Structure formats: structure tokens, C-alpha cells
Structure 1
Amino acid sequence: MTGEATLEPRRGRVALAAAVVATFALLCCGGSVSVFFLGGLFDEETDVYGYGCGTDAAVVDPRAGRLPRAGQLGDEQMRNAAVIVQVGQQMKVPPRGWVIAVATAMQESRLINLPNLGNRNDHDSLGLFQQRPSQGWGTPDQVRDPQYSSRKFYEKLLTVPNWERLALTDAAQRVQKSAYPDAYAQHEPTASLAVNVLTNGGARAAGGAVDLRCVGAGEISASGWAAPLKGKIVSGFRTASRPTHHGVDIAANKGTPIHASAAGTVIRMRCDARLNGQSISCDRDGSPQVKGCGWYVDILHAGAVITRYCHMVKQPDVRLGQSVAAGQQIGVSGSSGNSSGPHLHFEVHLDGDRSSNGAVNPEGFMREVGAPLGEGTA
């Protein structure tokens, strides 16, 4: 059985070409740190070398004399982001909520506590979250109080079922009911960065507002990512012996569940096994002589990041155009296509580029987003 289904990345609803993508390899739980910057997210004054997983983070103090910078966010914006994080910590909202709240305020107000702008106002929207007094958010003075408006945002967010596993744009929209529901996702990378610099890596953490730690098996980081499965990495990215290996191979028994690494949209679901130039079934084990990924899935995430999952044992559990949540099962591991044994071949691509030109080392990328690959994750 063969087949193909494809959706072009820039046609998907989360294809946000304007999103800023930061990819730099930071170790999750200590050790030496090697940093690579893309997109100019940091200025020269940003201190990124001390990132852990938020384990040493005290409650954020917006009144601190000098706050760190994140990307192009200025001092006023960082202080408002600090208020949002501080309120989340006080309310014991999990750190994923801090990222969602900061990204929402970036879209609604550029993290500026907006007054009544007269003719430029969107109805009676005010403050960091552009909350409307006429819709029951509070009085004009209340919604212009960053602590009050942050608390109201979190109170509403916490009523949304399964909010921690939703795409950021979906969680934010459930609260805000915006006329531009897809706009929030473009701010997710910078919001994650702001939370990281304010909390010593909290956007890569799991746990509660106080008990921050690196994500463990089956957990989703505050930045919204999870490892696709648990297993030893048996072949690395573009090694000397395999320079055209554009992902990593993770050992897994046949039938092991594979999970979406982050919320997104399925843009390809395909069987591409070929032998001697002819398409063959993917519902059987492949071999080193077979070409292609076998049964595989591509998912488009916020920031035009694409993840790829290859060699599934049978047709994937998702369909073209389907929205998936972080950690949702998308298929099971196998050995279809170019494979000598059961495993998951996992790739990460930037800028919506599914070709080898867009591929980056998944180990470094997943460490940075708080969901390191390897035997200790799932």
C-alpha cells in the first residue's frame, strides 16, 4: 500500500513566516554551554549563559533595578513581562501559562500598558491584554493595572480544558476571542525567550510555579515541546559516516507510540518506500536497500518549524490538515522504508523548509526548547 498527502507549509493556518525563530543549543540541566544565535533575538547585554531549567528561579521582581533584555523588547516591555510572570508565579500557574500570557500581551499591546487611544481604540479595549470593561473584564482603571489584568487573564485561561497541551494560539484565543485568532503564535519564540531570561530557563521547565525543573518522561516544557518518544540515540545528525543523515535515529521497539513534539498542523502524511525505482508497500519492514522514509508525517509548528517522523509500522494515526496537540500520539514506530531495524528517524527543519537545506540538529534544538532527546525523555 502506498500513498501521499501533502499540505504546503505556508498554506497551513500556523504557517507564520513573520515569526522569529531562535535556535541555539543550550544544555538543559547544567554542564558546559554552547550557544548559536539566529534571528538577532539577543542584544549584547543579554545574559544567557546561566540558563538552567528555572530550578534556581525566585519569584520574579518587576521592580528590580535592571532587568535582562530579550530580543527587541525594551525595558518597559520587559517590566510588564515580569509583572505577568510574577502574577503567574503567585497564582501557582504552571510555567506554560506564563509563555502564553506574555505572547498574548505581545500581540494585543506590544507589552505596553495602553491607555484609551481615542479613535485608534478597538472599542473600549485597554491595558496589556486589551481587555474590555464593557465585556465584564473590570473597570477601566482595573484593566489598566498590569497585575489585575494579568490575574484576570490567568483566571480565564485556567478554565480552558487541556490548555497546557493546546497550541498557544488556540489557548490564547479561548481567553481573548480575538478577531485575529492566528496572530498569537508568531510571538511564541520571543515570549519563551523573555520567560527564560526572567526565570533562569523557566520556558524549558516543567512543574509548578515554584518547583521548576527540566521536563521528564511524558512531560511538555513551558515552551510547548515534548520529546517524541523515549529511547537511545543510535545515529546522530550528519555524522562523518553519514553526512546526508538529516536527523537522528532513536531506538524504539516496534509499536512504540510516537508523539507530536509540539502543537501544530499535519502538512504531510505519506508512504514513500521505493525499491529499484518502484514504489512499494510501507506496511512491511524495509531494508537498507529500500529508499525513503516509509510511513512518515511532517508537522508544521509555530515559527515555521517543521518536525518529521519516519519509519512508522503502519499508516499514521493522523490525517492531512489535522491540528494536533503537543504530546498527542501520531503513530507507532516500525521499520518501514530505508531501515535495518525498528526506530524513529526524527528531523527538525526551520523556516518552513522541508528540504535538507532547512534541517538543523534535532538534539540542539530540542534541548533549547526544554525537551531533550535521549533515554531519559519521552
Structure 2
Amino acid sequence: MVANAVALLNPERGSGGIISEVALQSNPTEAAPLVGLCHPLREAGIISQGPHGSYSHLGPMEYAFDLSVDIGMPVYAMRSGKVLNLEDRFPDTGGGEENLHKFNYVLIEHTNEYRSAYLHLEQGFQARIGIKLGDRVQAGQLISYSGNSGWSTGPHLRIEIHYAAPKGSFGQTAPFQIDRICGSGVIALAQVERRLANRQTKWLNSVLAHLVRQC
């Protein structure tokens, strides 16, 4: 773990500027989640629902994260791999359970039979980016844009790491942790957490100030 922590602050780079990736371990747990994953929004967004969220992160989706963010924010691959499946035909209207299966997404296959999923994406991202089935992507590469498709109460990005499932479908999610920002340098998780915490504190302070003025 010490070596990995150093690598976050002083990333090794190959001849093409590609960030060296740590191997994804077998049998991750909540105490020892998967690491070596890039922030899909490069710090944008605030966690609106985390693992075991009572609204929708149950059963196979128990380790998902929802990041509240405006429509049209760039979404980047959390890890290098191959585009296994994608969907791009549903509008960004949000809605209830009737739209459960009407969401746009990208599913990327990685090593050790893990897959990363990016859901509720903006309609039309495939033509804008040119991404297609079978493409090889690098960690930190632009793969889509955030949206509001499917069963959604507002614009956000859902991210998941799955165990492999048949025919490019969604499998059981695995516990994971975002520990780097790729594409414009690599930043330690602690820095990301501090910046997100500062943003949430400022937002809470503004809400409290508004409530005080109403009293």
C-alpha cells in the first residue's frame, strides 16, 4: 500500500503518457475495496447516494455511487479496457420506475473479469465522441457525457464496478474506491475528499444562512 500511495503522487508514465495501473485484486471487501480507479468526472459532482443507499442501491447494485452533476459534463474511463456494451437511444427526461430499463450507458471490460459501468448518460454521446463496441480505451479517456436518462429524479452519473456477467449484461457490484484523477495528472484520494468536503460545507453553510434569514 505504501508503494501505491507514492505512485499516486508521483505517477509513472509510459512512452505514450499512459498512467501505470495497479492490478485489481481478487475478492474485494468493504474493508479492502478495489483501488486503482480514476475519478470519472475529474472531481466534478457530489455524492448523492453511496453504497447501500436505501433509494436504489440494493441487491446487485449495493456498491454503486451516484454523483449529482449537470447534464453534459464529460465522463472519463475509470480504468483502461474494452467497450463491451453501450446504449445511447433514450432521452434525458428522467422519470420514475416506468423508465427503469430506458437509460443510456457504457460498460467497459477490464482485467480480472471486472467491468466498470457508467449510467444515466446524455443521449447522443456516441456520435459526439465516436465511441463504439470493441473500442480500446485508456484510463482518463473521454467516453461519454452525464445525463438524465432512465429512472432518475435529476441529472447525475451512476458508476459501478461489476463482476463479469453473461452476454455483456450487468453483474453483481463490487466494493471499490476512487483513488486518482487521470488525464491531467494524478491526485491522491485524500486531496479529492478534502475538496469535495469543502464544497459540501460551503453548500450547507449557504442553506443554513438562508434558513436563519427566514426565521
Q: Is it true that 1:227 corresponds to 2:61 in the alignment?
A: no
Q: Is it true that 1:321 corresponds to 2:140 in the alignment?
A: no
What residue identity is the alignment partner of 2:83?
V
Aligned equivalent of 2:90:
282
CA distance in 2, matches of 1:328, 1:284: 23
Aligned equivalent of 1:163:
17
CA distance in 2, matches of 1:303, 1:241: 30
SS at match of 1:261: coil
- Percent identical among aligned pairs is 23
Aligned equivalent of 1:54:
6
Provide structure 1 residue ranges, at least 5 long, that are not aligned to the other structure: 1-47, 58-93, 98-156, 169-187, 193-203, 205-222, 272-280
Q: Is it true that 1:263 corresponds to 2:179 in the alignment?
A: no
Question: Deviation at 1:374?
Answer: 6.1
| Aligned pairs (5 A) from 1:275-354 | 282-289=90-97, 290-292=99-101, 294-315=103-124, 316=126, 317=129, 318-350=131-163, 352-353=164-165, 354=169
Structure 2 CA distance for partners of 1:375 and 1:269, relative to 1, 3 Å: farther
Q: Are 1:231 and 1:250, in contact at CA under 8 Å, matched by a contact in 2?
A: yes
Q: RCO greater where, 1 or 2, for CA within 8 Å and sep 6 or more?
A: 2
Q: Are 1:226 and 1:371, in contact at CA under 8 Å, matched by a contact in 2?
A: no
Q: Is it true that 1:95 corresponds to 2:11 in the alignment?
A: yes
- Name the structure with the higher strand share: 2
Aligned equivalent of 1:252:
69
| Aligned pairs (5 A) from 1:1-378 | 53-54=5-6, 94-97=10-13, 157=14, 160=15, 162-165=16-19, 189=23, 223=36, 225-229=37-41, 230-242=44-56, 243-244=58-59, 245-246=61-62, 247-271=64-88, 282-289=90-97, 290-292=99-101, 294-315=103-124, 316=126, 317=129, 318-350=131-163, 352-353=164-165, 354-357=169-172, 359-362=173-176, 365-367=177-179, 372=189, 376=195
Per-residue CA deviations over 1:304-354 (Å, capped at 9, x if unaligned) read 22100011111333110001111111111110111111000100113x235
The structure number with the bigger radius of gyration is 1
Per-residue CA deviations over 1:168-212 (Å, capped at 9, x if unaligned) read 6xxxxxxxxxxxxxxxxxxx518x9xxxxxxxxxxx8xxxxxxxx
Question: Deviation at 1:302?
Answer: 2.4
Q: TM-score, normalising length from structure 1?
A: 0.38
What is the aligned residue count?
166
Q: TM-score, normalising length from structure 2?
A: 0.63
Structure 2 CA distance for partners of 1:375 and 1:320, relative to 1, 3 Å: farther
Q: Are 1:231 and 1:374, in contact at CA under 8 Å, matched by a contact in 2?
A: no
CA distance in 1, matches of 2:160, 2:195: 19
Q: Are 2:38 and 2:180, in contact at CA under 8 Å, matched by a contact in 1?
A: no
Structure 2 CA distance for partners of 1:227 and 1:285, relative to 1, 3 Å: same
What residue identity is the alignment partner of 1:283?
P
What residue identity is the alignment partner of 2:136?
S
SS at match of 2:133: coil
